[in-house]
Amino acid sequence: MDPSTTIAIRRLRPGDAPALYDFYERLSPSSKRTFAPFGQHPALAQYENVVHDNDAAVDTKFDLVAVEETSGRIAGWSFVWDLPSDQPTFGLGVADEYHGQGVGRDLMDGVLDAMRRRGMCKLYLTVVTDNARAWQMYARRGFVRYDEFTGEDGLPYYRMAAELMA
């Protein structure tokens, strides 16, 4: 990463679908293995639906993106989906060239702050069991493992949940 690049974190907004599509397509196979909210080859229309669901009039998803201010490219993406349900679900992915530079931390903490402001009590996620860096990061933020399962991709996953108001 160019050290002069400035990253801004903001909510997903109309017009972002192509940049989000590009972000996901640029992820390495290793990152796609552990972060695949739509499977490995999502269509642009799926990102357009995510943008739609962030609209204030819909508001069933809350997505934050980390955006390079000069290029407009997306460097990271975090979200809570299924907002109106009893199992709102967290997700997080960062562009490979930005790993280890605090982008994931800032996105996750931004999403958690927003969910606490909304009064959300409990948040859920799933994480591949060998993705220790991710689940240790989640555990430091109060997520506790409560189950394991095999995903449709054949990988072993932990289920974790956090009490946000504790």
Ligand X SMILES: CC(C)(COP(=O)(O)OP(=O)(O)OC[C@H]1O[C@@H](n2cnc3c(N)ncnc32)[C@H](O)[C@@H]1OP(=O)(O)O)[C@@H](O)C(=O)NCCC(=O)NCCS
Q: Is-contact 94 36, C-beta < 8 A?
A: no
Nearer to ligand X, 83 or 125 (CB): 125
Nearer to ligand X, 52 or 110 (CB): 110
- The minimum distance between CB 48 and ligand X, in angstroms, equals 22
- The minimum distance between CB 57 and ligand X, in angstroms, equals 29
Q: What is the DSSP string of 29-92?
A: HHHHHH--BTBSS--HHHHHHHHHHTSTTT-S-EEEEEEETTT--EEEEEEEE-TTSSS-EEEE
Q: Is-contact 164 115, C-beta < 8 A?
A: yes
What residue number has its CB nearest to ligand X?
A: 104
Nearer to ligand X, 40 or 59 (CB): 40
C-alpha span between 89 and 81 (Å, rounded): 5
**Which residue ranges make up the site for ligand X (CB under 6 A)?**
31, 34-35, 92-94, 98-105, 127, 131, 133-134, 137, 140
- The minimum distance between CB 68 and ligand X, in angstroms, equals 14
- The minimum distance between CB 23 and ligand X, in angstroms, equals 11
C-alpha span between 160 and 138 (Å, rounded): 8
Nearer to ligand X, 52 or 105 (CB): 105
